[in-house]
Amino acid sequence: MFNKVLIANRGEIAVRIIRACRELGLIPVAVFSEADRESLHVRYAEEAYYLGPSPSRESYLRGDKIIQIAKTCGAGAIHPGYGFLAERDDFALQVEEAGLIFIGPRPSAITAMGDKAVARATVTAAGVPVVPGTEGEGNLTDEEIIAVAPQIGFPLLIKATAGGGGKGMREVQNIEELPNLISAARREAEAAFGDGNVYLEKLLLDVRHIEFQILADEHGNVIHLGERECSLQRRHQKLLEESPSPFLDEELRQRMGEVACKAAQAVDYLNAGTIEFLVDKDQKFYFLEMNTRLQVEHPVTEMVTGIDIVKEQIRIARGRKLRSSQEDIRLKGWAIECRINAEDPYNSFLPSTGIITQSILPTGPGIRVDTGIYAGFAISPFYDSLISKLICWGETRGEAILRMRRALEEYRILGVKTNIPFHQNIIASHRFMAGQFDTRFVEERFSMNNSEEGKEELAKIAAIMATLVEHRHHQKASQIFRKSERDTSNWKWLGRWERVNR
């Protein structure tokens, strides 16, 4: 059985997996690109190997090199994290063929769920309801897609068959804009996954995105760890997740959980995975897709169930039985995660790069931070903009929200712009507090300048602070000016030098 694990990833998730390895007494091995030599995952690993230049294609997507390194250093298993190679069935297969263990599902399950079109067909056959969309298996041409679109009806979504994380996705309002958007989606999908195939899905409105965390072992046990509410998205990127969902009751949770386990069983699923659903206001739910990997938002489930999902992944990969049965799983309290991205919420969420000059973390009871950054680290433009995850637990949703509010206010990241103010505004919005939102909320009904409470008082304080800062700048500037006028020390020194050398 393996005792050394290579982590084929970077950033916060690589750090997360390294920690799980260390806490299980296993040896964590990091790989890194040129830009990441000084990143935390390299610093925290027991061993670290250089992969290649900074672009992912030359480093974190180089499955061949990664397998070679694992074999050379004696790592018996590879954990892919999320993104990069995590949902590439060819990579999982190559890992197996190299005699190593892939910490994740079997390649066949990745294949089945990875082609979103195949996945839809498979779970439909198992009796799981799906969102209406293009039928049959992938590799549709532009012409085929354009032909079938009117039957599904507008608005609809173009999605990458190899997709995930909102990449290669486009919303389409009418047939005219379809061709251009297909090209754009294919281009982005090709860049992100090395696969430009896309398919169509009906764009459901007034729905929530709710997903179920699944664990499955080699011994036929499949359980779910309850749901995560992920409706707060922007451009199909999740921004804030919570568990449980304020929208589900125990009866619906149980029904959806059972369907989720059924969907996983339909592809003979192994290890951790997530079944994503859309749920409409009548509590009807539709299978959206399965993510055959660890999710960014897994910590909220860990906080409410007490189960360490990454450690469970490793235990399952070692052939162990699940330590909990479905009856053991209880959701205790409430957890919320805010994804902290290096992007400017006041300027169209444009990514922000630079060197972190200060990082003061919120700490204290009920707070968890998963991050890969520190003061002095450079945020490069090569990878995605997620730099930290702030997770708060509370006995109730109310307590979790209040805790998140104070934690966001405490969190100081300087050197790049972050979306912390976005989260502060979301958390303070009445609709969020009341649990009244859907997947369109952020884009259609949310504004950064929503909260009016005490705004005038704050504006006055801001004006005072700006004035005090400018006043100081003026004073400082005039002092420097005066100083240099008076500063004759160089001339004195020169005078002496001349006398000495005369």
Partner 1 sequence: MKYVASLGGQEVEIEINGEDEIIVDGERYAIDFRSIAGQPVYSLLINGRSYEALVQLSEEGSEVLLQGQLFLISVDDERQRRLRQTSGPQLTERGEFHLKSPMPGLIISVSVREGQEVARGDRMIILESMKMQNELKSPRDGIIRSLRVKSGDNVEHHQVLLTVG
Binding partner of residue 494 among its own copies, partner 1, none, CB cut-off 5 to 8 Å per kind: its own copies
Look up residue 148 and give its amino acid. V
Q: How far apart are CA 96 and CA 107, in angstroms?
A: 9
For its own copies, the closer of residues 236 and 403 by Cβ is 403
Short-list 400, 401, 321, CA closest to 366: 400
Contacts of its own copies in 369-408 (CB under 8 A): 369-371, 374-376, 394-395, 399, 402-403, 405-406
Question: How many chain residues are in contact with partner 1, going by CB under 8 A?
Answer: 67
Q: Which tokens is 62 given?
A: 């180089």
Count of residues for the chain? 502
Out of 134, 245, 352, 371, the only residue in the binding site for partner 1 (CB under 8 A) is 352
CB of 390 to partner 1, least distance (A): 14
Handedness of CA 108, 109, 111, 117 (dihedral sign): positive
Out of 318, 410, 440, 450, the only residue in the binding site for its own copies (CB under 8 A) is 410
Burial of 262 (0-12, 13-18, 19+ CB in 10 A): middle
Look up residue 375 and give its amino acid. A
Binding partner of residue 308 among its own copies, partner 1, none, CB cut-off 5 to 8 Å per kind: its own copies
Q: Which tokens is 326 given?
A: 């479905």
293 is catalytic: yes
For its own copies, the closer of residues 22 and 262 by Cβ is 22
Where does 365-488 have alpha helices with state H?
Answer: 397-410, 420-428, 430-433, 455-486
Annotated catalytic residue, options 293, 315, 339, 368:
293
For its own copies, the closer of residues 468 and 494 by Cβ is 494
Contacts of its own copies in 263-302 (CB under 8 A): 299, 302
Binding partner of residue 383 among partner 1, its own copies, none, CB cut-off 5 to 8 Å per kind: partner 1
Q: x/- string (CB under 8 A) for its own copies, residues 295-324?
A: ----x--x---x-x----------------
Binding partner of residue 16 among partner 1, its own copies, none, CB cut-off 5 to 8 Å per kind: its own copies
Q: What is the DSSP letter of 501?
A: T
Looking at 112-120, 146-154, 310-318, 375-383, which segment touches partner 1 (CB under 8 A)?
Answer: 375-383
Residue 192 binds partner 1, judged by CB under 8 A? yes
Binding partner of residue 49 among partner 1, its own copies, none, CB cut-off 5 to 8 Å per kind: partner 1
Binding partner of residue 50 among partner 1, its own copies, none, CB cut-off 5 to 8 Å per kind: partner 1
Listed in sequence order, the residues at least 6 apart from 480 whose beta carbon sits closer than 8 Å to its beta carbon are none
For its own copies, the closer of residues 17 and 67 by Cβ is 17
HEC-encoded secondary structure of 381-417: CCCCCEEEEEEEEECCHHHHHHHHHHHHHHCEEECCC
CB of 382 to partner 1, least distance (A): 8
Q: How far apart are CA 402 and CA 421, in angstroms?
A: 15
Binding partner of residue 469 among its own copies, partner 1, none, CB cut-off 5 to 8 Å per kind: partner 1
CB of 416 to partner 1, least distance (A): 10
Q: Which tokens is 34 given?
A: 């040129």
Cis peptide before 155 (omega within 30 of 0): yes
Residue 154 binds partner 1, judged by CB under 8 A? no
Contact criterion met (CB below 8 Å) for 199 and 140: yes
Q: How far apart are CA 339 and CA 297, in angstroms?
A: 9
CB of 414 to partner 1, least distance (A): 5
Contact criterion met (CB below 8 Å) for 345 and 389: no
Contact criterion met (CB below 8 Å) for 67 and 78: yes
Write the DSSP string, 67-114: HHHHHHHT--EEE--SSTTTT-HHHHHHHHHTT-EESSS-HHHHHHHH
Q: Which tokens is 121 given?
A: 């067909």
CB of 457 to its own copies, least distance (A): 13
Q: What is the DSSP letter of 218?
A: T
Binding partner of residue 42 among partner 1, its own copies, none, CB cut-off 5 to 8 Å per kind: partner 1
Q: In degrees rounded to 5, what are phi and psi of residue 361?
A: -80, 145
For its own copies, the closer of residues 52 and 366 by Cβ is 366
Handedness of CA 284, 290, 296, 300 (dihedral sign): positive
Residue 25 binds its own copies, judged by CB under 8 A? yes
List contacts with partner 1 (CB under 8 A).
30, 37-38, 42-43, 45-50, 73, 167, 184, 187-188, 191-192, 342, 346-348, 350-353, 357-358, 374-377, 381-385, 408-409, 412, 414, 420-421, 423-425, 428, 448-449, 451, 455, 458-471, 473-474
Annotated catalytic sites, by residue? Answer: 293
List contacts with its own copies (CB under 8 A).
15-16, 19, 22-25, 44, 299, 302, 306, 308, 332-333, 358, 360-361, 363-371, 374-376, 394-395, 399, 402-403, 405-406, 410, 494
